[in-house]
Structure 1
Amino acid sequence: MKFFLIGITGKMGSGKSLLSSFLKKKGIPVYSSDERGKILMNQTKIIKKNIIKHFGKDSYKKEKINKTYLSEIVFKNPIALKLLCSIVHPWISIDFKNWIFYVQKKALYVIKESAILFESGSYKECDFIINITSPIEKIIERIIKRDNLSENQIVNRLKNQISNKKRKEKSHLIINNYSSEMYLEKKADRIHELFENLYKHQYGKRR
């Protein structure tokens, strides 16, 4: 299989999912680690067993992951967050490899979107990494609308995510998302053009 693996990451509320959605509209396969992680936490028995073992029975409510309860624990404690990642990420890694193998055989490039691309170590698999940044006030505004969290809750969660400085050191492209959705859509156009041209240069004509 010949394709480029592009990692898209950024702090919560930065706009990484929006950028990914614009690329998906162009027919580019997008794997959302965050979304798949939620599904796996709900469906994989061994994940459920280990989460309950370490974080308690309240981690699940009516057989579904209790996101509010679990978030309050892991986003206040970096050690707890690392433990949760160690439980879930190996299964995300397997799920991603299966997704690549069975679904994406004809892709020029694929997107792996993850808030913890660096923390999980999966950035090492990527050929190119895009980091999205955004002003803190914009992030807070977006997350309040999206998740109905308080400003204090958002700030506490952001503190436990890897810093933008460290993200930038390991990224190939930085996108500062402080404008409109149209701005990100134009960025998606340029990214798509870039990787189409890179594919043509490295592997020859488009499949």
Structure 2
Amino acid sequence: MSLVVGVTGGIGSGKSALTDYLEQQGITVVDADKVARLVVEPGTPALRAISERHGSGILLANGSLDRAALRRIVFSDPQERLWLEQLTHPLIGEEIKRQLTASKSPYTVLSSPLLLEGEQVAMTDQVVVVDVPVEVQVARTMQRDNNDEDQVRRIIAAQMPREERLARADFVVDNSGTLEQLQEHAAALHRRLLALA
């Protein structure tokens, strides 16, 4: 398996903008958020378990998971969040490993908002943290997800503190500027990672 680079950052930090750039350079990106959606698609055992626990109101008309409704439940009740993590994290881990092993690029990116919180960091050789000030996170997330400020701050509070994330980084990418500035940082990071690989 090639060099595995974990990319993480708080909500609204711009992980996707960084990984989109790396993907355009031919790097395989395994996205834990996409894998998390994959393991709860209609017909999966995980989605069945979630709807048995929370009732059919947790499903949209097309039979898929109402992610906003589930988010409200798990961010207001720590026990429900724990239950959901115990159900989905092993399934997500297996699928991530499968996708990392299949990668053929010089290095592979594992993009995950919870990279440092759980066991996913053990699958990586280097850690990149995309960083922005908390107020930027709040503003970007409210604009992107149409969430109110209290909801966004609850999500940020549930994530690893910014200082701790930064302390565990091998590389930090500052994304408090423009998209053009981020792409300059991303190009420099890509060159360094290619050299490491």
TM-score by length of 1: 0.87
Distance in 1 (alpha carbons) for counterparts of 2:177 and 2:135: 13
Q: Name the counterpart of 2:91.
A: 91
Match of residue 156 from structure 1: 154
Q: Which runs of 5+ in 1 are unaligned?
A: 200-207
Q: Could you give the per-residue CA deviations for residues 60-84 of structure 1, whole angstroms, max 9, x where no partner exists?
A: 2231111111111112233432322
Alignment partners' CA distance in 2, 1:9 and 1:146: 18
**In structure 1, distance between residues paired with 2:78 and 2:130:** 22
Partner of 2:109: 111
Counterpart-to-counterpart distance in 2, 1:13 and 1:4: 26
Pairing 1:1-207 to 2, within 5 Å after superposition: 1=1, 3-43=2-42, 45-62=44-61, 63-102=63-102, 104=103, 106-199=104-197
CA distance in structure 2 between the aligned counterparts of 1:193 and 1:184, rounded to whole angstroms: 14
Contact (CA 8 Å) 1:30, 1:112: kept in 2 or not? yes
| TM-score for both structures, normalised by structure 2 | 0.91
Which secondary structure does the structure 1 equivalent of 2:92 belong to?
A: helix
Separation of aligned partners in 1, 2:10 and 2:181: 18
Q: Shift of the alpha carbon at 1:49?
A: 2.3
User: How many Å separate the matches in 2 of 1:73 and 1:181?
Assistant: 34
The share of aligned pairs that are identical, in percent, is 24
3-state SS of paired residue (2:84): helix
Which 5+ residue runs of structure 2 have no aligned equivalent? none
Structure 1 residue identity aligned to 2:16: S
Map Cα deviations across residues 39-77 of structure 1 (whole Å, 9 max, x no partner).
Answer: 221145210122224444322223111111111111223
Q: Distance in 2 between the 1:43 and 1:28 partners?
A: 30
Q: How far apart are residue 101 of structure 1 and its match?
A: 3.1
* Distance in 2 (alpha carbons) for counterparts of 1:120 and 1:58: 29
Asked if structure 2 preserves the Cα contact closer than 8 Å seen for 1:5 and 1:112, the reply is yes
Q: Quick one: distance in 2 between partners of 1:99 and 1:23?
A: 17
CA distance in 2, matches of 1:101, 1:128: 17
Q: Is the 8 A contact 1:117 1:123 kept in 2?
A: yes
In 2, the alpha carbon distance for the partners of 1:170 and 1:83 equals 27
Distance in 1 (alpha carbons) for counterparts of 2:77 and 2:116: 18
RMSD over equivalenced CA pairs, Å? 1.7
Change (3 A) 1:60 1:49: same
